[in-house]
Chain A
């Protein structure tokens, strides 16, 4: 009986065990624990968002309630609008700048590297303490318009936009392309638009996706400056109805996941670029 239930003492089992300890048990244990750490909160979010529903109500009651709320819609669209403005503004600002630095001022690249890390280093809450009064003194008109958020998010997106564009420009033979275009009679702006930008498509899309992710999730500045964006709405609704807040949490999760997936599909080591990514601004 004992032999049947405990079939350990078979010949060669010792060797077998040694071979198995080469498949690293400890490493596998960490891998499993890490996966649990990642997945349990996500599972809980889904589970929680489906709770507290009265009989006869839709399973996705909380999601439907939130999506139906006109305040949610306006907050969400405000965030979408701000995101698009952020992308547009950072591209207009950064593409010509990085292009020019690479082409004519390569000596400035270390300076650019340094400057572009600064927004990552200065916490948003600290930046806004100094920035808000300054903008207010500059122009009350701007201070109360949502466009001001886009301008501030350009700062937050700068490290990622810069890095994406810098890597993109490094990967192409900028000098040759520019000289070729110039010898065919193209002006520098025309070269930038017709030759360089098409070659930077992946970098531009990558940087833009990260800028969208930052703008969609940013809470600190939006809430302190009194704008009702997606994340501010999520916060407020979560404080009054936990279920709806958690339902929106899952929506944000899908949003971040979608953007990261897009970056990943874009190749170019999306995950790596995303690594340091948005954390700093969103927390």
Chain B
């Protein structure tokens, strides 16, 4: 037990403490608010904004389609083998993030990507309107790990909708649409939102994918630039930005756990 406590203290608690303390200190160790003040000046507000937009959009795309897909593969009319195939592939895809993911999309929809070239042959030139560094392009890339993660997290939730509810609704004459509108969605909404908040946090902390895509105005990228090399360039600003991210993440988790509490009222 003792080694574990020591390890957690050294590698988790002290670093977090360093960030919180460091964010309010000058290089010489005196107290200051100027690091925090820096966050509110260019280029950082724009970076926070883009981080939040990108995370929100990718969570939205991944969340909605993940939900639809989870619902689809659980439908009794869909061939049996599709379900395990989807779930295991999702396990793979949810982990296929980082540098390889960015390169995979470069090969697909980059300016010389296979699909880009194919579309060009068909007379549709997606560039320069589209770019993998733009909001939609990057959200599409992020969706590759968000969407399968949502499927994996959503399947148990939909399975938790008890069959009795469906049967009762159906006995009372409700079709699939009516069931979802009056029973399914109201019950599932908190966990649907909760999982999307989780996806939001998931996207927010992404660095490798963004770096390999060549996105420049993102909080994680800014932090990396500040600490690159020997971690000495401008640690003070990095502390403040890191603290900013911690604050956003704490808010995210709070919302998530509040929604989760609501969920547990109906679903186990």
CB contacts (< 8 Å) of B71 on chain A: these are: 27
CB contacts (< 8 Å) of B22 on chain A: these are: 130, 133
Q: Which of B188-209 contact A (CB under 8 A)?
A: 201-209
B147 touches A37 (CB 8 A): yes
Tell me the nearest residue of chain B to A34, going by C-beta: B69
Tell me the nearest residue of chain A to B243, going by C-beta: A126
CA distance A48 to B22 in the complex (A): 46
Tell me the nearest residue of chain A to B214, going by C-beta: A239
Q: A97 to nearest B CB, angstroms?
A: 4
Tell me whether A248 is interfacial, beta carbon within 8 Å: yes
Tell me whether B30 is interfacial, beta carbon within 8 Å: no
Q: A150 to nearest B CB, angstroms?
A: 12
A43 touches B212 (CB 8 A): no
Tell me the nearest residue of chain A to B212, going by C-beta: A235
B95 touches A277 (CB 8 A): yes
B98 touches A249 (CB 8 A): no
CB contacts (< 8 Å) of A275 on chain B: these are: 90-91, 94, 149, 152-153
CA distance A220 to B253 in the complex (A): 23
Number of chain A residues whose Cβ lies closer than 8 Å to a Cβ of chain B: 85
Tell me whether A203 is interfacial, beta carbon within 8 Å: no
CA distance A132 to B10 in the complex (A): 11
- One of B77, B93, B97, B220 near A38 (C-beta < 8 A): B93
CA distance A252 to B106 in the complex (A): 15
CB contacts (< 8 Å) of B148 on chain A: these are: 38
Tell me whether B227 is interfacial, beta carbon within 8 Å: yes
CA distance A223 to B249 in the complex (A): 24
CB contacts (< 8 Å) of B77 on chain A: these are: 22-24, 27
A253 touches B96 (CB 8 A): yes
A44 touches B107 (CB 8 A): yes
Q: A32 to nearest B CB, angstroms?
A: 10
Q: Which of B57-93 contact A (CB under 8 A)?
A: 65, 68-69, 71-73, 75, 77-78, 82, 86-93
Tell me whether A75 is interfacial, beta carbon within 8 Å: no
Q: Which of A98-153 contact B (CB under 8 A)?
A: 100-101, 105, 115, 118-119, 121-134, 136, 151-152
CA distance A279 to B152 in the complex (A): 13
Against A, the Cβ 8 Å flags (1 = close, 0 = not) of B5-26 are 0011011101111110010000
| A residues whose Cβ falls under 8 Å from a Cβ of B | 22-24, 26-28, 30-31, 34, 37-38, 40-45, 47-49, 93-94, 96-97, 100-101, 105, 115, 118-119, 121-134, 136, 151-152, 154-155, 213, 217, 219-220, 223-226, 231, 234-235, 238, 242, 245-246, 248-249, 252-253, 256-257, 260, 263-264, 270-272, 274-280, 282-283
Closest 5 CB pairs of A and B: A123-B205, A130-B15, A48-B107, A27-B72, A283-B206
| B residues whose Cβ falls under 8 Å from a Cβ of A | 1, 3-4, 7-8, 10-12, 14-19, 22, 65, 68-69, 71-73, 75, 77-78, 82, 86-100, 103-108, 112-115, 143-145, 147-149, 152-153, 201-209, 211-212, 220, 223-224, 227-231, 235, 238-239, 242, 245-246, 249, 253
Sample 14 A-B pairs with CB under 8 A, ordered by A number.
A24-B72, A41-B144, A44-B115, A47-B107, A48-B114, A122-B246, A123-B207, A123-B220, A125-B207, A125-B220, A134-B15, A134-B18, A154-B7, A234-B99
